[in-house]
Every structure is written in structure tokens, then in C-alpha cells.
Structure 1
Amino acid sequence: MKLIYGTGNPGKFSMMKEALKELDVELLSLRDLPAVQEEPEETGRTPLENARQKAEFYYSIFKMPVFSCDSGMYIEGLPEEEQPGVHVRNVGGRRLSDAEMTAYYAGIAHRLGGRCMAEYRNAICLILDENRRYEHYGPDISGVRFYLVDKPVQQKEEGFPLDPISVDVDNGKYFTQLEGQQSIFEKSEGIVRFFRNALGI
């Protein structure tokens, strides 16, 4: 079955393709389809609301099975009003570049003593047709807890601007030094289970 992943981020698409390789689905990226001029709105207050908005947007255009994901980042020690949540890339009313994003969150880590605990909370919305929709927002598809630090290393892959300041809690390695990325953004077992249940495969 053909399935569109509604994301413009090539890094996230590659990661999802790897996570779903054992399933009998042909994952399509937005680059495989006719160009879409508009961008979906992301005005939700939670990752699930944003995932739903994006999936509905792409389904309305392509009229074929599509899913979208969204994440919120939460940092221990940061006041509630400063939590990035679903606005990880948008700060002070403007969208940050990769370099600006790395610098901004390195600054937060510096403010919190050079290192702070963080986690992504992820959601997914899958629309198969007008009558079948599946959604999930839970820890089984969310990222592991990790440290944000104030000393960046060189970025390895475009689209993951926080990897140069993200450190694995267990082994102390920067995310840029890790082989796989499933554990960073999404736990692949939970994602695979979601699709198996939704698609009946």
C-alpha cells in the first residue's frame, strides 16, 4: 500500500522509512508528489493537534492515505511559560534557522548549569480515507530522555539542529555520534505497532 508521510523534513522521512521497512508499505515523501505551494497550519497547542492539522491538510490535497507526526520538547527546570512545547523552532514570533536553533537551546542549557534533561513527546495522525482515521499520542512513540548541553559539536545531518547539543544519558555520546536515530525522535517499536494495528498487517 502507498502511504504519504506528510513532512518536508528529509531527515525525518529517512528515519521513518527505516523504522517502517519491515511493513508492506511504500512510503512516499512530499518530493515524490506534485509540488504543494502552501504550507499546512500548525496552530495546535499539543503535538496531536498539529499532527492532525498536517494530515488533514495533505489528505485534502492528495486524497490518498497520509500521516503526519508532530513533537513537543519539554525541558526540566525551565518555567512553564518558557517551555518550547510544539514551538521548538519558533521563538519570539520568528522561525529559527538550524544554526540559530542550536545556539538558542545551547543558551538555555548554559542558563540551567551547562546541562539539562529534555524529552520529546510525539503524536501521529493517520488518515486512510474519509471514514478511517487513527491517532496516537503517548510515551511508546516518544523519544527517550536526553541531556541538552551548552557545548555543541558539528552538525552531521540537516534537519536535526539539536543533535549537536543533545547527549545520550546512558553512554554520554552526542546524538551526532550515534549510529541510529529511531531512539532520538521516535521509538520505532511503538510506531510499527501503531501502523500494524491501524492497517491490520
Structure 2
Amino acid sequence: MKFIIATNNAKKLKELERILKPLGIDAVSAKEAGVNLGEVEETGTTFAENAFIKANAAFKATGMPAIADDSGLSVDALDGRPGVYSARYCGENATDEEKYTKLLEEMQGVPDEKRTAHFTSAICCILSDKEKIEVDGICNGTISHTPNGNGGFGYDPIFDCNGKSFAELTAEEKDKISHRGIALRKLQAELKNRFDK
């Protein structure tokens, strides 16, 4: 079964493909589906609202079942920032390194016990005009003082969970504990429920 994934982030697409494959879902990008979704304006104030906006745009453009994820990092010492603005926190075309470097600069002088943070992933899956599934996942951790590891993407090198940064984990290790892994397992259960009937 083919689902269109509403993202322009190649690394996120790869992660979603890997987690959805065991479900028998063939995750395809808009480009692979032969459509141009353009830049969908994320006007929501929550991860769930933005996930719906993106999934709905992809569903309307293709008529295919669509999945979108909106995710980000919320840092307690920064009053929840960058939150829904995680991708645009350092300007539109900032690199991952520029984003996490800015965040580390803002966290200078914050003691270890106050460096708590969490990643959130909100996923919206639109199956038809009348049927949508919304799930989320949260992974708690802390912000390190320096980036560690070469894997992952986004803020992974500075987000520590169980003694390692997300960027130090293998893809399989990350999927087991990450916010997106948690949300996608919930989605997997919901889809199984619907398709097994």
C-alpha cells in the first residue's frame, strides 16, 4: 500500500520509510509520486495542527493516503523554545549545526539539573475525506554542553537520552526510544486495527 509522506526533509523521509516498511506501507515522497507540494505554510500553534496542515495538503494534491509528522525540541530552561519553530529557529535555510549551535549558546551557564528537554512528534495520517488518525510521541532527555555523534539530524547531537546523544545511536536504537518511533508505533497499532477488520 502506498502512502505519500508530506515532507521535504530527506532524512525524516528515510526514518519514516524505515519505521513504516514492516507494516507493508510503501512510503513515497511527493517527488516520487510525481507531484510538487510546494512549501506548505505551517500556521498551526501546535505540532498536531501543523501535522494536519501538511497531511491534508498532500492528501488533497494526490488523493493518496497521506502521512505528515511535525516534530520539534522543547527546552524547559528556554520556556519551551524552540518548540513548533524548531526547524525555523535559526532562520529559513539554517543548517542543523547552526540551529543546535544557537541553542547551545542560549543554554550557556544553565546548570546540568536545569537542562531538561523533550522531543515531540505529532503524526497525522489522512486515509480519506472522512478518516484521519492523529497520534503523538514524547521522548524526555537533557541538553548536553557540546554536540556528540555523527548520526541523526536536527538537534540530535545535543539531545541526550539514557547517557547517549541521539546522534550517537544506531538507527534501530533511536527508533526504539525516539518521539517519532513512539508515535509511529501508535500509528502502526491504529492502522492494524483498521486494516485487520
Where on the TM-score scale, by shorter chain, does this alignment land: which range? 0.7 to 0.9
Aligned equivalent of 2:151: 156
Structure 1 residue 118 corresponds to structure 2 residue 114: no
> Which whole-Å deviations, capped at 9, do the CAs of 1:158-180 have from their partners, x for residues lacking one?
xx121111212x2x122222113
Aligned equivalent of 1:192: 188
Deviation at 1:200, TM superposition (A): 4.2
Alignment TM-score, normalising by the size of structure 1: 0.83
More helix by share: 2
Deviation at 1:110, TM superposition (A): 2.3
Identity of aligned residues (%): 26
1:88/1:34 Cα in 2 relative to 1: closer, same or farther (>3 Å)? same
Retained in 2: the 8 A contact 1:65–1:126?
yes
Structure 1 residue 173 corresponds to structure 2 residue 169: no
Aligned equivalent of 2:4: 4
Deviation at 1:198, TM superposition (A): 4.5
Q: 1:98 aligns with which of 93, 96, 99?
A: 96
Alignment of 1:20-39 (within 5 A): 20-36=20-36, 38-39=38-39
- Number of equivalent positions: 190
Aligned equivalent of 2:65: 65
Amino acid at match of 1:195: L
Deviation at 1:184, TM superposition (A): 2.4
1:191/1:110 Cα in 2 relative to 1: closer, same or farther (>3 Å)? farther
Gaps of 5+ in 1: none
1:125/1:200 Cα in 2 relative to 1: closer, same or farther (>3 Å)? farther
Retained in 2: the 8 A contact 1:73–1:118?
yes
Deviation at 1:20, TM superposition (A): 2.0
Indicate the structure whose relative CO is greater, using CA pairs within 8 Å and at least 6 residues apart: 1
Aligned equivalent of 1:107: 105
1:71 aligned counterpart, secondary structure = strand
Question: Aligned partners of 1:196 and 1:111: how far apart in 2?
Answer: 47
Amino acid at match of 2:44: G
